[in-house]
């Protein structure tokens, strides 16, 4: 598998050069992928990513969304959740974790001209493979944003990656998304939220207990939010704000998909 390494922030721009050369050589059918984390694609390299989308070139981007800069020590990125305790957004006396809202790369990518967008996890196998195959078949730019557990930074056990990915979807922390421009001429026709539980409801309810499963349940299961709970297990005001942010994001997706 031929590959090339680029600067941290310019993988999509590098890929545009490779794509142009390949097309000159008659290699139009060869697939070309960029791989990077949320720090590279959401933050420092977003301008390069946006330019690639606008080019219309059939380049595919795979993002490992760990919600931090995992390679350099776990600093906050724009993918970091509100209230998350990370390096550069430490939970202290004045600020209890990150105060900004999370950037949603899926919605941003959908607003670019004719771009295939998927948000998925490796725990949702069928959805994951459908997303990858859809991106490969699409004759234009595509992005797959994949939830990726970073065990030491998230504060979870090494064997919990799949479980936490499923919980992130169930609690609206990280909704599953497929946006295929080939499906029609409106966002509603192109956008699918299939794979998420209770797609027309605010929150999913545990079928065994009937209890609502929300972002607080997700946060309670991970060390990065541990300082937001008092000795009785009650969440902080910041975490309640993070919960409202996740619900607002879910409502936006429901609205776009014509489900609310």
Nearest-5° angle of CA 112, CA 116, CA 119?
Answer: 105
CB 188 within 8 A of CB 255: no
pLDDT in single tens digits along all 260 residues of the chain: 889 988 888 999 999 999 999 999 999 999 999 999 999 999 999 999 999 999 999 999 999 999 999 988 889 999 999 999 998 888 988 889 999 999 999 999 999 999 999 999 999 999 999 999 999 999 999 999 999 999 999 999 999 999 999 999 999 999 999 999 999 999 999 999 999 999 999 999 999 999 999 999 999 999 999 999 999 999 999 999 999 999 999 999 999 999 99
Domain residues for 237? Answer: 11-256
Phi, psi (deg, nearest 5) at residue 214: -130, -175
Residue 2, domain member (yes or no): no
Residue 33, domain member (yes or no): yes
Give just the sign of the alpha carbon dihedral 244, 246, 248, 254: negative
Residue at token pair 């990513």: 49
* pLDDT at residue 173 in the model: 98
* pLDDT at residue 64 in the model: 97
CB 18 within 8 A of CB 32: yes
CB 37 within 8 A of CB 64: yes
Q: How many structural domains compose the chain?
A: 1
CA–CA gap between residue 255 and residue 250 (Å, rounded): 9
Non-local (6+) Cβ contacts of 86 within 8 A are 68, 74, 75, 76, 80, 97, 98, 153, 224
* pLDDT at residue 8 in the model: 86
Q: Tell me the C-alpha to C-alpha distance, in Å, between residue 72 and each of 8, 37, 39, 156, 221.
A: 12, 11, 10, 19, 24
* pLDDT at residue 12 in the model: 96
pTM for the model stands at: 0.95
Residue 3, domain member (yes or no): no
CATH at 105 = 3.40.50.970
């Amino acid at each position: 598998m031929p590959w090339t390494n680029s600067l941290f922030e310019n993988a999509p721009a590098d890929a545009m050069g490779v794509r142009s050369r390949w097309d000159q050589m008659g290699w139009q059918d060869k697939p070309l992928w960029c791989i990077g984390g949320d720090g590279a694609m959401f933050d420092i390299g977003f301008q390069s990513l946006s330019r690639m989308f606008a080019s219309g070139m059939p380049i595919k981007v795979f993002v490992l969304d760990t919600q931090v800069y995992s390679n350099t020590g776990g600093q906050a990125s724009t993918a970091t959740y509100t209230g998350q305790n990370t390096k550069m957004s430490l939970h202290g006396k004045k600020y209890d974790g990150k105060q900004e809202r999370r950037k949603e790369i899926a919605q941003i990518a959908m607003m670019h001209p004719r771009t295939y967008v998927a948000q998925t996890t490796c725990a949702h196998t069928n959805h994951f493979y459908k997303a990858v195959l859809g991106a490969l078949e699409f004759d234009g730019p595509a992005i797959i944003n994949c939830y990726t557990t970073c065990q030491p930074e998230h504060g979870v056990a090494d064997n919990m990656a799949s479980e936490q990915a499923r919980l992130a979807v169930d609690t609206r922390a990280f909704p599953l998304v497929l946006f295929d421009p080939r499906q029609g001429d409106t966002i509603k026709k192109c956008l699918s939220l299939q794979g998420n539980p209770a797609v027309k409801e605010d929150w999913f309810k545990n079928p065994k207990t009937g209890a609502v499963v929300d972002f607080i349940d997700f946060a309670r299961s991970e060390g990065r939010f541990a300082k937001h709970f008092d000795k009785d297990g009650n969440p902080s005001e910041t975490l309640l704000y993070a919960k409202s942010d996740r619900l607002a994001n879910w409502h936006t997706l429901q609205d776009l998909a014509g489900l609310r």
